[in-house]
Amino acid sequence: MDRQKKSHVDLEKLNKIPYGQSFEYKDIVDESFHPGNKAAIDVEKFKEEVEKAIYPGINVLEDKGDRLLYRKDEV
């Protein structure tokens, strides 16, 4: 697995997500990120960051393996 330091989240996009709203990683990825064949690695990295509570209030809502949904909750 690629050992990049962090996922390519656009914090401005993440902050605009309303509380209680579900979203996918593609909704908050930085537009300057062009992953090519590394998109899945970046998605997995974001999931790890969420599980480590790096983004307070962001939780995995649904994990179907090929599709991850997150939800933003108030902290």
Residue 22 domain-assigned?
yes
- The domain of 38 spans 11-72
Residue 50 domain-assigned?
yes
- Retrieve residue 28's tokens: 């908050």
Average pLDDT over residues 36-65: 91
Following DSSP, what letter does each residue of 15-53 receive, concatenated?
Answer: HHSPTT-EE-GGGTB-TT---GGGHHHHHHHHHHHHHTT
Residue 68 domain-assigned?
yes
- Per the structure, the count of domains in the chain is 1
Residue 47 domain-assigned?
yes
Average pLDDT over residues 15-22: 97
Residue 6 domain-assigned?
no
What was the pLDDT predicted at 4? 58
- Give the Å distances, CA to CA, from 13 to 28, 45, 53, 60: 5, 18, 18, 17
Residue 56 domain-assigned?
yes
* Cβ–Cβ < 8 Å for 11, 54: no
pLDDT surpasses 60 at 51:
yes
* Chain CA centroid to CA 13, Å: 11
What was the pLDDT predicted at 1? 41
What was the pLDDT predicted at 46? 95
